[in-house]
Structure 1
Amino acid sequence: MAEFATSTAPADVVRRQYLASATGDLEALRATLAPDVEWTEMAGFPLAGTYRTPDGVTAGVMEKLGQAWDGWTAHDDTYVVDGENVVVLARYTATNKETGKPIDVRVAHHFVVRAGRIVRFEQFVDTALVRDAMTV
């Protein structure tokens, strides 16, 4: 396990990011992100836009998801790795705090990892399913 925790292999870095997110460990999550990270949430997603810096990502995305959803988790299922590119097929599960509606939505995430840090992230998700869960 110690090797996984310190590995700079792109898939290992991405996996650490998912584990940190799932446990709410924002410090560990920030440690996987490059200082100049560009993190893009898909157009149509409630948090759509590009966030920069590790603090910008955790404050603008992770903390806001925790405020709006109970149990927000990205379940990483399948990894496809090509050099510094890591595509993860995953799903989001959570329950919206305002409506009480659950989601279980398939997603794809594209990461670019350089020098052991995530430098770019792009999300692909059915935003209509997420928004439906947010509508009373």
Structure 2
Amino acid sequence: MGLNTFEADSPAGVVRRQYLASAAGDLAALRATLAPDVEWTEMAGFPLAGTYRTPEGVTSAVMERLDKDWSGWTAHDDTYLVDGENVVVLARYTATHRGTGKPLNVRVAHHFTVRGGRIVRFEQFVDTALVRDAAN
């Protein structure tokens, strides 16, 4: 990635701000990275599977529910692949399920589309069996 990859309004910079806001539990800052018509898709088989719209819809249906069910839910972003408005992030989820006490440590890939300084589309790819096993 180039020197300017993480400039604030670059696609990767917007995505990075989203991860930092999520890790800090700052839902207002996270919503600020999302377009009003965002489409946020959690993978089939994931506990929160589905497509959510609007910044408020995403944070209430995904982030707030993850916090309710999991202790310390964090997406650790480590590798960014950028192609124009497309940003693919290779990451890792870590957490402990509040009901079972089982830990989660699973690799994940996220595909973001960023336009006009906001995330307009998100799609998650994860080994849903590992998530399910930690939750049961």
TM range (shorter): over 0.9
Q: Distance in 2 between matches of 1:60 and 1:6?
A: 29
CA offset at residue 81 of structure 1?
0.1
The answer for the alignment partner of 1:13 in structure 2 is 14
Structure 1 residues not aligned, in runs of 5+: none
How big is each residue's C-alpha offset from its partner over 1:49-104, in whole Å with a ceiling of 9 and x where there is no partner?
Answer: 00000000000000000000000000001000000000000000000000000000
The answer for the alignment partner of 2:77 in structure 1 is 76
Q: How many residues align?
A: 133
The answer for the alignment partner of 2:98 in structure 1 is 97
Aligned-partner residue type, residue 110 of structure 1: H
Q: Distance in 1 between matches of 2:56 and 2:17?
A: 17
TM-score (norm: length of structure 1): 0.95
Aligned-partner residue type, residue 44 of structure 2: A
Structure 2 residues not aligned, in runs of 5+: none
Does the 8 A contact of 1:112 with 1:119 survive in 2? Answer: yes
Does the 8 A contact of 2:41 with 2:51 survive in 1? Answer: yes
Q: Give secondary structure in 1 for the equivalent of 2:20.
A: helix
Does the 8 A contact of 2:39 with 2:51 survive in 1? Answer: yes
How big is each residue's C-alpha offset from its partner over 1:26-67, in whole Å with a ceiling of 9 and x where there is no partner?
Answer: 000000000000000000000000000000000000000000
Does the 8 A contact of 1:5 with 1:16 survive in 2? Answer: no
The equivalences for 1:16-95 within 5 A come to 16-95=17-96
Aligned-partner residue type, residue 95 of structure 2: A
CA offset at residue 5 of structure 1?
9.3
Does the 8 A contact of 1:111 with 1:122 survive in 2? Answer: yes
The answer for the alignment partner of 2:124 in structure 1 is 123
CA offset at residue 7 of structure 1?
2.0
How big is each residue's C-alpha offset from its partner over 1:103-134, in whole Å with a ceiling of 9 and x where there is no partner?
Answer: 00000000000000000000000000000001
